[in-house]
Amino acid sequence: MQQTDALIVIDMQNDFCPGGALAVSGGNDILPEINAMLGQFPVRVLTQDWHPADHASFAANHPGAAPFSMTEMPYGPQVLWPVHCVQGTSGAAFHADLRTDPADLIIRKGFRAAIDSYSAFFENDHKTPTGLDGYLRARGVTGVTLAGLATDYCVAYSALDAARLGYGVTVRLSACRAIDLNGSLADALAKMRAAGVTFI
């Protein structure tokens, strides 16, 4: 592993694992592989969805709206999700089996009530930065490997932004799981492939 390589572990939180509010099927099955990967990279980052209870992406905050329906936000189309990963709740906590001690940095995202945040690098307006890019550049990182949840949303958005920012990008598909909402997985894989993302 090169000293310029970083591992970014996306949203391995209770609400995205079986039994959680927005569970990804098999989400906890990838924890052993992710834990092993954390020992293989010189730079290790964890991301954490961290929403206020009044977040605009929650269907419950739009009277009459059903979870997984769509709405228009000032920054574009937005899926309305079940309430999940609310700040300070057990659902927002990292899964107990995730090794968090090796992490150099934890990036919290989605804490602005008016805008959702899938990517580890930008809010969903694709302009408001999380600060991760600056951190990685300060560490001399040129390549990133992504793992975690979910392949077709937060992992894919992070991979596409990393490629756009000029990093070499690898997605460890065996260490990811997808929501696959209305064909979202195939669409995400196609977009990542077109952007030059490498799959393992």
What count of Cα atoms within 13 Å lies in the side-chain half-sphere of residue 89? 17
Residue 26 scores a pLDDT above 80: yes
The DSSP 8-state label assigned to residue 86 in this structure reads B
Q: What is the pLDDT of residues 129-169, one digit of tens each?
A: 999 999 999 999 999 999 999 999 999 999 999 999 999 99
Mean pLDDT of 174-191: 95
Question: 2 falls in which pLDDT band (50, 70, 90)?
Answer: confident
Burial 164-189 (b: 16+ CB within 10 A, else e): ebebbbbbbbebbbbbbeeebbeebb
Token code pair at residue 178: 């997808």
List the catalytic residues.
11, 109, 154
Cα angle 146, 100, 52; round to 5: 80
* Sign of the CA dihedral with 107 first, then 108, 112, and 115 last: positive
